[in-house]
Amino acid sequence: MALTEDTPIRVGLLGAGTVGSQTARLLVEQKDELAQRIGRPIELSGVACLDPDEVDFPWIDKSLLTSDTMSVVRGADIVVELIGGTGVARTFVLAALEQGSSVVTANKALLAKYGAELYKAAADHDADIYFEAAVGGAIPIVRPLRESLVGDQVESMLGIVNGTTNYILDEMTTKGLDFDVVLREAQAKGYAEADPTGDIEGHDAANKAAIMATLAYHTNVTIDDVTVEGITHIEAADIAAATAEGKVIKLLAVVDRNDSGVSARVYPALIRQEHPLASVHESFNAIFLKAKYADDLMFYGRGAGGAPTASAVVGDIVTVARHIAAHTTGPQISTYNDLPIAPLSSEKASFAVRFMIHDKPGVLYKVAKVFADHGVSINGINQDLERSKTDPGYDGELQQLRLTTHETDEETLRATLADVFELDCVAGGPSILRVID
């Protein structure tokens, strides 16, 4: 069949869940206006789901529903992958690209693991792959990295890219609640999954950090290259100490480049209350980017949710459809730099450390000596009596010792703390937080 300006561009939707159903809604309800923006008609050609009988949205024609996912892929000019995971999703995305169909996806886990393979398949078959919704939901960060800033040099990025963890830390800070209490509340409100492991252990943010690093530094960075630390060890005492110092704790995706290569990390950190990221509350996301010439940039908005994420997905669909109408494709993902992944030892930071010590003379001297022996300089010390806590074999009271260091690398710090906890006057495991200036 000869293609004309009146031939519809067919969109096959894989997944009819929270985001998929809202994506379908925007496509159907804005069909005429989107056609004007694209220059060609656009139509939903099929919707793949596990059980078509359970999908009941008035804007989705029942005849479009099927459990035969590959048939939807084969019948589409643009395949929208919203089923998640890295198994069958990879199969369907590769099949779409290899037949020359373009792909729009929100699947950060897929891109963080198999991005290089998918980008190559898109380039080899003259197809687009767009994924704005994979990082930060409705926040436009992928396109600026991919297009707007390609004439600049990204120096670093700090991102709050997981709404669940930001909500938990924000509630702990503003209401003085314990971690477990806030987590249950987040689950009840739908901000956290029944199994929140991927969020609270930092894995979701790590996938996004890998994608951001790949785009910013034109180097293939996978999920296996990202070091990850979650927030499950954060206690009310950490929040209180941060507040007393005029700081807040945020789970950050930190991406930068140093002389040793590219670094992509996820960890909870102390930031000043004056920092732009400190004012990001509830489940909102934000990314603070520093570029060599553009200087400081801030991207802020809803990081999740059906409608906000669907907005980003449909934005990509329109972009790809415009390319199809113009018989072209967008810029491919470039990884020409092939930079190494920087080791932990190449990064230095100040740290805030909290642990329990026996309340008796000479303890501070012993602790300080271990730090000095490892070449770690202590910047400040604070002690609070903890009357309710005990240590087996010790009859006295315990104190909570909080200290901050001057800049050191994490490997040295952890080796120092390992020796500190060999002391018989130290109890319990440490809480370690980086300090972001």
Catalytically active residues, by annotation: 208
Q: Which helix (H) or strand (E) holds 5?
A: none
Query: What phi and psi values does residue 272 have, to the nearest 5 degrees?
Result: -65, 150
Known binding residues: 14-21, 108, 193
Q: Return the HEC string of 274-301.
A: CCHHHHCCCCEEEEEEEECCCEEEEEEE
Alpha-carbon distance of 413 to 121, in angstroms, equals: 43
Known binding residues for L-homoserine: 193
Known binding residues for NADP(+): 14-21
Strand, helix or coil at 160? strand
Alpha-carbon distance of 181 to 234, in angstroms, equals: 13
Query: What phi and psi values does residue 269 have, to the nearest 5 degrees?
Result: -140, 155
Query: What phi and psi values does residue 82 have, to the nearest 5 degrees?
Result: -130, 30
Q: Are 346 and 412 in contact (CB under 8 A)?
A: no
| DSSP sequence for 101-133 | -EEEE--HHHHHHHHHHHHHHHHHTT--EE-GG
Burial zone of 437 (CB within 10 Å; 0-12 exposed, 13-18 middle, 19+ buried)? exposed
The radius of gyration computed from the CA coordinates of the chain, to the nearest angstrom, equals: 25
